[in-house]
A = this chain, B = another copy of it.
Amino acid sequence: MSKIFDHEITRRGFLKQTGQGLIAAHAATIITRAAEAQRVPDPPGKKAGWAIVGLGSLAINQILPAFAKCEQSRPVALVSGHPDKANKLAQRYGIKPGSIYNYQNYDTIRDNPEVDIIYIVLPNGMHAEYTIRGHQAGKHVLSEKPMANSPADCQAMIDAARKSNRKLMVAYRCRYEPFNQAMIKIARDKELGPVKVIVADHGFNIGDPTQWRLKKELAGGGSLMDIGIYSLQAARYITGEEPTEVNASMYSTPGDVRFKEVEETINFQLRFPSGVLANCTSSYGYSGQNRYRVIATTGWFELEPATSYTGLRMRVRRGNATEERDIQPRDHFAAEMDHMSECVMNDKPPLTPGEEGLQDLKIMSAIYEAARDGKTVKLQRGEGSG
């Protein structure tokens, strides 16, 4: 069912010529449909080509190695401000020297037919710009979380994807790995009765005070944007609902140079339509926390660690017995990238589209507002729910 994939070049050329998104999209659909009738099925193992934008530690230590575990994804381009780093990594991963870009010539990636999908692994404040430029270059885009610094930026990214008729996904890797998926299933199946309360804690004691995560412009905020978002996500995907109200309390240690621009700790409460209440903590000041517990009427189930790259553990309590459930792990990044490749190659909507990232940004904005104003902030029903 790889409808449009083999015809990217033609289509991209067409889009470039007309420069008119909606008309182009309509015309492209006609071309695609016509092409589809004559297409030869892809050979087994066909892989989408990925460009990695931003070669920080996440890209180097997690994302690039994960391609070895991908079935449908392969690295074909790198975008970096550091040519030395890019060259070394290109050699390691068999990427052509001509497929190394910097931030100035990034837009010429449109002319690289090997690149189907761009993975934005830049600081949060740069996600919007590089996503939109990626879409304008006719590529599909996977953006790291948080999607952007503001709901407005998220909306602009969604609009750019729509205009270019390309896909946009947010890298919520936990949605694609089996431990968190098993937690969702227990909740949905009501295996331990209806869920009542979710308790989620995510954070760590952040180091180097000069890092981008502590700069408001690059990070958009503090612990909430970077790590508290995992608590927020967990509450949302476990319930499968959107919160209607938030409370929050915030604290930054006075005089701590790390927290001059962004918050240290921000704890929040969420209310969901079914009555589930979530109590979440998020901190850059406390020792590593990475867990959530879902408390239902006849037992509870938890992950700790819950959202680390590896080593997740699940415990299920029923009556007086606690059981550790053994689940076959999967590389989170490989799973997430293969999902995106699958969506692109088969023209399916991703599980975590731009609208999902926008919704988190709307809720996080409400959490900051609740902490700042000392009041319960109500969210509109269905607001931003993708």
Q: Which residue of B lies closest to A271 (CB)?
A: B249
CB contact under 8 A between A289 and B281, given known A199-B199, A245-B249: no
Query: In the complex, which residues of chain B have a beta carbon less than 8 angstroms from the beta carbon of A199?
Result: 199, 201, 279, 281
Q: Is A374 an interface residue (CB 8 A)?
A: yes
Which of A101-109, A161-169, A295-303 lies at the interface with chain B?
A295-303
Which residues in chain A, 295-354, are within 8 Å of chain B measured between CB atoms? 295-300, 317
Query: In the complex, which residues of chain B have a beta carbon less than 8 angstroms from the beta carbon of A192?
Result: 287
Q: Is A285 an interface residue (CB 8 A)?
A: yes
Check A265–B196 contact: CB distance below 8 A: yes
11 contacts between A and B (CB under 8 A): A199-B199, A201-B295, A253-B275, A265-B277, A267-B269, A267-B279, A279-B280, A287-B297, A287-B298, A287-B299, A374-B375
CA distance A296 to B249 in the complex (A): 18
Check B267–A249 contact: CB distance below 8 A: no
Query: In the complex, which residues of chain B have a beta carbon less than 8 angstroms from the beta carbon of A233?
Result: none
* Interface size range on A against B: 35 or more
Q: From residue A379, how far is it (CB to closest CB) to chain B in Å?
A: 13
Check B300–A296 contact: CB distance below 8 A: no
Q: Which residue of B lies closest to A318 (CB)?
A: B287
Which residues in chain A, 168-225, are within 8 Å of chain B measured between CB atoms? 192-193, 196-197, 199, 201, 205
Check B265–A197 contact: CB distance below 8 A: yes
Check A289–B295 contact: CB distance below 8 A: yes
Query: In the complex, which residues of chain B have a beta carbon less than 8 angstroms from the beta carbon of A99?
Result: none
CA distance A269 to B192 in the complex (A): 27
Q: Which residue of B lies closest to A205 (CB)?
A: B297
Check A248–B247 contact: CB distance below 8 A: yes
Q: From residue A44, how far is it (CB to closest CB) to chain B in Å?
A: 42
Query: In the complex, which residues of chain B have a beta carbon less than 8 angstroms from the beta carbon of A247?
Result: 247-249, 269, 376
Check B280–A251 contact: CB distance below 8 A: no
Residue of A196, A285, A296, A300 with highest tally of chain B CB at under 10 A? A196
CA distance A196 to B287 in the complex (A): 9
CA distance A281 to B267 in the complex (A): 13
Check A295–B286 contact: CB distance below 8 A: yes
Query: In the complex, which residues of chain B have a beta carbon less than 8 angstroms from the beta carbon of A248?
Result: 247, 269
Query: In the complex, which residues of chain B have a beta carbon less than 8 angstroms from the beta carbon of A296?
Result: 286-287
Residue of A205, A277, A283 with highest tally of chain B CB at under 10 A? A277
CB contact under 8 A between A251 and B271, given known A279-B279, A297-B286: yes
1/0 contact trace for A351-383 toward B, CB 8 Å?
Answer: 000000000000000000000001110000000
CA distance A283 to B194 in the complex (A): 14
CA distance A297 to B288 in the complex (A): 9
Check B269–A287 contact: CB distance below 8 A: no
Query: In the complex, which residues of chain B have a beta carbon less than 8 angstroms from the beta carbon of A286?
Result: 196-197, 295-297, 300
Check B295–A300 contact: CB distance below 8 A: no
CA distance A265 to B275 in the complex (A): 10
